[in-house]
């Protein structure tokens, strides 16, 4: 029986029996409320039919300006979401509100065929989940189809780090008779002395270093600033480099064209010295960060202090380094104890 017919019966009854008049008013109110809800849903659906790319662009602008995501995260999320939109278009779907869980699972199967790492799949799923959360929070969509899709369980890998001897060997490789060698020495000393990320290193300006106090200001993830202590070896290397440098630039580390150094350039530089030092361990800029944390904990540093140095928002992220030191203690015990 249709709502319109029920409404008609109640109106007729209220005409012959005044006691139905209150019920009639309530029925009219419910009826028109239902119409308003239908109009809202239709309006949202019409909004959802706007170019999907426009919604993605709005979301990316939001996480850049309001959430202060790093450039690396923005780049990764943009690539992930553009890949997702491309898949939906190939599936004949042009409306984000029409995406079903089945289509999302098909997308995950599509990713799996490309044989990416679990962390890559997890990041791609996180970017899509975050997009839908944004659309729901802003009233564009009502349901988040990603809400009940589980993220792949990641393998827990212990971070690779250098021994103290390996670190000293690598730091001795640059030719300090050249400006580039002085710069490279200063870069590696700074990475090892502070444990900062390579993105934080290349973003540093000369004014960020307080030589008198022995601290440096860095801008981490989400553009959050923190103050780090920096050792004398690193400070002396930086001062020597700046004393020989003639270029007028506020950036601390420059390339051969006197522009700000890039993360990729730092990675290539470290790889060059790794090969020169005939090291068995593959070293990246992040290896300095792992080594910094591991060596501090080995020498009795407080876990909370290491968390602050590294700029981790969660202590659980820092705790992985305690597993590294525990594993090393076990190795020493197995080798040294007569009844191990």
The residues carrying an active-site annotation are 197, 221, 286, 289, 312, 321
Tokens representing residue 266 in the block: 């730092």
Cα–Cα distance, 208 to 216 (Å, whole number): 6
| Element at 92 (helix H, strand E) | none
117 vs 202: CA distance, rounded Å: 27
Whole-number Å distance between alpha carbons of 298 and 328: 9
Q: Which one-letter DSSP state was computed for residue 218? A: E
CA-nearest of 100, 295, 317 to 221 is 317
Closest CA to 298 of 157, 158, 161: 161
**Which residues neighbour 176 within 8 Å (Cβ) at sequence distance 6 or greater?**
182, 185, 240
Rounded CA gap, 89 and 87, in Å? 5
| Angle in degrees, CA 123, 222, 234, rounded to 5 | 105
H-run or E-run covering 228: strand 225-229
Q: Which two tokens stand for residue 289?
A: 């960060």
Which H/E stretch holds residue 296? helix 285-298
C-alpha torsion angle, residues 78, 80, 81, 82 (rounded to 10): 80
């Amino acid at each position: 029986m249709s709502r319109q017919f029920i409404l008609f019966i109640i109106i007729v009854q209220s005409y012959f029996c005044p006691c139905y008049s209150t019920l009639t008013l309530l029925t009219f109110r419910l009826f028109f409320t239902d119409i308003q809800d239908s109009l809202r849903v239709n309006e949202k659906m019409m909004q959802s039919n706007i170019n999907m790319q426009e919604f993605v662009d709005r979301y990316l602008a939001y996480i850049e300006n309001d959430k202060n995501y790093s450039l690396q995260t923005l780049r990764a999320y943009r690539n992930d979401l553009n890949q997702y939109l491309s898949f939906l278009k190939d599936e004949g779907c042009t409306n984000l509100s029409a995406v079903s869980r089945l289509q999302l699972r098909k997308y995950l199967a599509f990713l799996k065929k490309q044989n990416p790492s679990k962390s890559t799949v997890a990041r791609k799923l996180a970017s899509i989940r975050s997009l839908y959360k944004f659309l729901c929070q802003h009233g564009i969509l009502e349901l988040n189809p990603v809400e009940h899709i589980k993220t792949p369980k990641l393998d827990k890998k212990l971070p690779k780090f250098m021994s103290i001897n390996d670190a000293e060997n690598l730091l001795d490789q640059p030719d300090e008779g050249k400006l580039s060698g002085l710069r490279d020495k200063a870069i590696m000393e700074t990475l090892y002395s502070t444990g900062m990320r390579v993105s934080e290193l290349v973003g540093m300006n000369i004014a960020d270093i307080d030589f008198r106090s022995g601290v440096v200001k860095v801008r981490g993830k989400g553009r959050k600033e923190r103050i780090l202590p920096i050792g004398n070896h690193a400070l002396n290397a930086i001062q020597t480099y700046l004393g020989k440098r003639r270029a007028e630039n506020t950036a601390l580390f420059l390339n051969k064209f006197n522009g700000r150094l890039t993360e990729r350039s730092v990675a290539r530089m470290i790889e060059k010295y790794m090969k020169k030092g005939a090291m068995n361990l593959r070293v990246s800029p992040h290896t300095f960060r792992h080594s910094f944390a591991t060596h501090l904990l080995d020498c009795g540093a407080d876990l909370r202090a290491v968390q602050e140095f590294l700029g981790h928002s969660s202590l659980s992220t820092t705790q992985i380094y305690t597993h590294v030191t525990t594993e090393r203690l076990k190795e020493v015990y197995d080798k040294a104890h007569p009844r191990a």
